[in-house]
Structure 1
Amino acid sequence: MPGPGAPLELREFDRPDPEPGGVLLRTLGSEVCGTDAHLWKGQLAGVPYPIIPGHVSVGQIAEIGPADASAPPPTDVSGAPLVVGQIVTFLDVYGTCGRCWYCTVGHATTRCPARKVYGVTLSADDGLLGGWSEYIYLRPGVHVVPLPAELHWRAFLAGGCGMPTALHAVTLGEIAFGDTVVVQGAGPVGLCAAVLAQLRGAGSVIVVGGPELRLDAATRFGADAVIDIGSTTPQERLATIREMTGGRGADVTIEATGAPTAVPEGMRLTRDAGRYVVVGQYTDAGDAGFNPHLDLNQKHLDIRGCWGSDVGHVHRAVRVMARYAQQFPWTELISREYALDDAQTALEDVAAQRVVKALIIP
């Protein structure tokens, strides 16, 4: 991706020789995330174009750097040694320092100023640091998570970035048994949030979004009701949610749309003293307005911002997807797979919401 709005280009790179502690993956697949569409539109600051997109990927370990006193042999997140041939994923965030105020006192590693992200804030000029490539180079210190035998790599990528992100959001939402949960957005994050809300014991899950392709997926994956934003107004959606909740609104609402106007609407869909988690505003898509008295203070509303995910969320996402693979046929979320030379079409299909989940298969 040479720059915002520019067509994607196919480039060749030398195969890297892993340094001590480094790992070379042969890419099996990489997701096309909504974030990639936002990067293409130039909606995230600090992106060092050109980049190799693809921040959530799965690969088979092709080579491990030599043993050296300067770096211990690479291990997975549980401390087990990595071996050639393993199928793994990895946390896209790289370089979190572990020493700054956010890492140590604030316990908010997603806000560490040293953090970089594969496929987002690491330049192609520095090597194979994104998933839309035949190989991915994992620098020393990248957090590696093996996939268990019972979880096919395509099944994991069907959740992709959406699953650990949704897991973070649902955890912040503190969904309790019997809660009514509204999920705004029927993309991968919203669909994963709807599934995880069920696993947290929600009494009912309502997905508000579109288009029909994605709403159908929400229904297949257990949503109790769906509301199409294409055929309703915000006032009608509010009236419907109120009618379904005894006039109160949702106990917990999770915003996973990326549309700024969804935020004030979500505040109004949530009951007084309820919880509202905003996870979809990962990039800057513009401003939105609300009434601080009516929408926030008088409602005694608890709003929680949720930005990104850490290695714990990825590890837990893998375990959850493996455990519940029989109940939820994850791969049904994959609408289409694309080769590298068709990545531009994949990007445009995701941006236009013509697919639920798209994968790049190098």
Structure 2
Amino acid sequence: MSSIKVESSDNLDLAIPKIMSVAYLQKPLEVSIEQEDVPSVSGREVLVKVMAVGICGSDVHYYAHGRIGNRLVTYPHIQGHECAGIVVATGDKVTRFKVGDRVAVEPGVACMSCSWCKEGRYNLCPDVQFLSTPPVKGAFVQFLKHPEEFLFPIPESLSFEHASLAEPLSVAIHAVNRGKLKPGSTVVITGMGPVGLMTVVAAKAYGAKEIIVTDMEPLRLETAQKLGATQVIDISSTDTIKEIMQVTSGLGADLVFETSGNVRALQSTIEMVKRGGSVVTIGFPNTEEVPLNVTLMLQKEIDLFSVYRYTNTYPLAINILVDLGSQIEPIITDRYSLEQINEAMYQAYANRSNSLKVIVFPN
């Protein structure tokens, strides 16, 4: 992989060209660079020069399989939704931003008028337009048009690539909120992909005392320790349930977060959690139906929470990332230019052992 020179906002060219480069997913495992007109903005719209985009697990699913559940890609498709950049133009009704402002982009644009939006659960809005979720085009572009309500200022001390992590960190923050994590809790987090690692960060920020994590990849377990895990369990060589019971003096964890989507991992959460504890499911399984031991759940009176994206998390996510500074750096393992998008996507898809978060730099 060639090295990438990342510009600071001090020397960025804020001129707006007429044509921009765009990465189009043409079919499974094939992305091409095409040219498109740079979008114009009006009203409350903001034009963002996209400086960094993280590749998400959902991007990998669409890239490799062309679908997630009943959501099908219509080719060609633009992927990418974890992004940050700099404002280069504003519509005539924009009040919160000006040219030159550095921003993180919340990718889901909700209607803000349906019953779910009005009760604050806009992640459940039936009309949400979420970047890169078909048929909505995503952020692997040089310039992105986005409503000002879903942009958030970032300080100079936070790099664009670190700011792009506000999106997966938001998933983790929403998960710990759903699970009602209390300071001093003992938590188990299964799966140390980027969202699992961000759940380590969120659990620590919320005051968890013991953070036990599971995976089978050494890089992922090592990174989890760097980010705050107090105990790591290699599931390939350890009886996971027995180990968790030993660590928790036979009680089980207060909270278990399942981030991997692995069916056996989800089923095992019922055994990992203590009586009266909670299980929070984040990762999507590769099958629509997963058998669970409901009898044991009833006997232990377990609360089961599911997580779908997030609501009202970006300001806190940005603050956490600012406080962490360079401590978050181990999660970013790969950097590519937009022209290297094929290599970037394939790295995220095929190299679980040596790759965590892959960042693409469109400009």
TM-score of Structure 1 vs Structure 2, range by shorter chain: 0.7 to 0.9
Aligned to 1:154: 161
CA distance in 2, matches of 1:230, 1:344: 31
Compute the displacement of 1:142 (Å).
4.8
Compute the displacement of 1:241 (Å).
0.3
* CA contact 1:259–1:285 (8 Å) conserved in 2: no
Structure 1 residues 150 and 285, CA, compared in 2 at 3 Å: closer, same or farther?
farther
* CA contact 2:83–2:163 (8 Å) conserved in 1: no
Residue type matched to 1:339 in 2? Answer: S
Aligned pair partner of 2:144 in 119, 136, 149: 136
Compute the displacement of 1:175 (Å).
1.9
CA distance in 2, matches of 1:119, 1:323: 29
Structure 1 residues 267 and 120, CA, compared in 2 at 3 Å: closer, same or farther?
same
Q: Percent identity?
A: 26
CA distance in 1, matches of 2:48, 2:287: 34
Residue type matched to 2:108 in 1? Answer: V
Structure 1 residues 261 and 3, CA, compared in 2 at 3 Å: closer, same or farther?
farther
The answer to whether 1:43 aligns with 2:43 is: no
Aligned to 1:31: 54
Aligned pair partner of 1:246 in 245, 249, 261: 249
Helix, strand or coil for the counterpart of 2:171?
helix
CA distance in 1, matches of 2:289, 2:208: 31
Compute the displacement of 1:48 (Å).
4.9
CA distance in 1, matches of 2:69, 2:104: 24
CA distance in 2, matches of 1:141, 1:319: 19
CA distance in 2, matches of 1:142, 1:337: 29
TM-score (norm 2): 0.86
The answer to whether 1:318 aligns with 2:331 is: no
CA distance in 2, matches of 1:276, 1:4: 37
Counterparts of 1:65-214 in structure 2, within 5 Å, are 65=91, 67=92, 73-75=93-95, 81-94=96-109, 96-105=110-119, 107-123=120-136, 129-138=137-146, 140=147, 142-157=149-164, 159-214=165-220
* CA contact 1:204–1:223 (8 Å) conserved in 2: yes
CA distance in 1, matches of 2:37, 2:29: 24
Compute the displacement of 1:215 (Å).
1.0
CA distance in 2, matches of 1:343, 1:120: 18
Helix, strand or coil for the counterpart of 1:324?
helix
Aligned to 1:359: 359
* CA contact 1:4–1:39 (8 Å) conserved in 2: no
RMSD after superposition: 1.9
* CA contact 1:51–1:120 (8 Å) conserved in 2: no
* CA contact 1:22–1:64 (8 Å) conserved in 2: yes
Residue type matched to 2:170 in 1? Answer: P
* CA contact 1:31–1:160 (8 Å) conserved in 2: no
| Unmatched runs of 5 consecutive residues or more in structure 1 | 68-72, 76-80, 124-128
Residue type matched to 2:302 in 1? Answer: L
Helix, strand or coil for the counterpart of 2:313?
helix
Aligned to 1:273: 276
* CA contact 1:161–1:189 (8 Å) conserved in 2: no
Q: Return 21-30 or 284-293, whichever deviates more.
A: 284-293
Structure 1 residues 160 and 98, CA, compared in 2 at 3 Å: closer, same or farther?
closer
1:65-110 deviation per Cα after TM superposition (whole angstroms, max 9, x unaligned):
3x2xxxxx224xxxxx21111111121011x2222222235x4211
Q: Which has the higher strand share?
A: 2
TM-score (norm 1): 0.86
CA distance in 1, matches of 2:283, 2:152: 25
What is the count of residue pairs matched by the alignment? Answer: 334
Aligned to 2:305: 304
Structure 1 residues 253 and 45, CA, compared in 2 at 3 Å: closer, same or farther?
same
* Structure 1 residue ranges (4+ consecutive) displaced by more than 6 angstroms after TM superposition: none
Compute the displacement of 1:309 (Å).
1.3
